[in-house]
Amino acid sequence: MSLLANKIALVTGASKGIGAGIAKALAQAGATVAVNYSSSKAGADKVVAEIQAAGGKAVALQGDFSKQQDITRVYAAIREQFGRLDVLVNNAGVYAMMPLEQVTAEEFHRQFGLNVLGLLLSTQAALPLFGPEGGSIINIGSVVATMAPPNSAIYSGTKGAVDSITISLSKELGARKIRVNSLNPGMVETEGATALGFIDGDFAKQVAAMTPLGRIGQPDDIAKIAVFLASDMAGWVNGQQILAAGGQTM
């Protein structure tokens, strides 16, 4: 029997990269998946088409999760189409690397507005859709929450906040049988990482050399862990930070 048969899942920021990988893996495990996107309709439609071609069920839902009105609209659509939610993956996020001298209030609010406040408001809006049997919330964090490399003060700060929020919400929502965990990837080969030059240059080689498993991650590496956390197999896992970085710890 499929691990997530008859489950309804929402993956935010799922038009590409880690989010797309998680959406496809959840669908393969039997869930019906709402594939959220902010601007890339073509990307989300492609993910939905791939899920459907493999025999799964998915719909694309547009919404910028840095905006309260968009969050409200996405969850209203989920209520209308499915009536409930069993799995929420808070994946939507932005990042930029810069030295302290280049930090601006605008960049701070851009990253914290989506990575932290958007995650909180998303979770808040999802709560009424979880039934008495509870469910699973997976917050996509990052190893930078603890590794915190130079030039990442804002981004690392947002992911540190995600870990703290995860612990707090796991205690707050546990009585409702809603498990909350952080899934924290290391470097993953995605469209965004490639566009920033992280994948094709020496940096990726250095990261791979520092990783005990000898390579950088792929979206499917993260997606498999998300399926586990979403399923009843992780029914006793709550309030945890799962590092998915091939053994890299610093």
Write down the pLDDT at residue 195.
Answer: 67
> Does residue 116 lie in a domain region?
yes
> What is the C-alpha separation between 219 and 228, in angstroms, rounded?
15
% pLDDT > 90, the chain: 84
Instruction: Enter the DSSP assignment of 247.
Output: T
Write down the pLDDT at residue 209.
Answer: 83
> Does residue 246 lie in a domain region?
no
DSSP E strands, 71-219: 87-90, 135-140, 178-185
Write down the pLDDT at residue 61.
Answer: 98
Catalytic residues: 155
> What is the C-alpha separation between 205 and 192, in angstroms, rounded?
17
Number of domains forming the structure of the chain? 1
Write down the pLDDT at residue 250.
Answer: 65
Q: What are phi and psi of 231, to 5 degrees?
A: -95, 170
Write down the pLDDT at residue 1.
Answer: 52
> Does residue 203 lie in a domain region?
no
Closest Cα partner for 87 from 185, 178, 183, 219? 178
Closest Cα partner for 143 from 216, 220, 227? 216
> Does residue 205 lie in a domain region?
no
**Residue reference for tokens 């896992």:** 237
> Does residue 204 lie in a domain region?
no
> What is the C-alpha separation between 116 and 127, in angstroms, rounded?
17
Tens of pLDDT, residue by residue over 12-55, are 999 999 999 999 999 999 999 999 999 999 999 999 999 999 99
Residues 27 and 48: beta-carbon distance below 8 Å: no
Give the sign of the dihedral formed by CA 89, CA 94, CA 100, CA 103: negative
> What is the C-alpha separation between 237 and 233, in angstroms, rounded?
9
Q: Which two tokens stand for residue 20?
A: 């797309």
> Does residue 242 lie in a domain region?
no
227: domain CATH number is: 3.40.50.720
> What is the C-alpha separation between 108 and 67, in angstroms, rounded?
16
Q: Which two tokens stand for residue 209?
A: 């050399």
Write down the pLDDT at residue 190.
Answer: 78
> Does residue 43 lie in a domain region?
yes
Boundaries of domain holding 222: 8-187+216-236
> Does residue 170 lie in a domain region?
yes
Element holding 193 (H helix, E strand): helix 191-195
Q: Which residues of the chain have pLDDT under 50?
A: none
Q: Which residues contact 55 (CB under 8 A, 6 or more apart)?
A: none
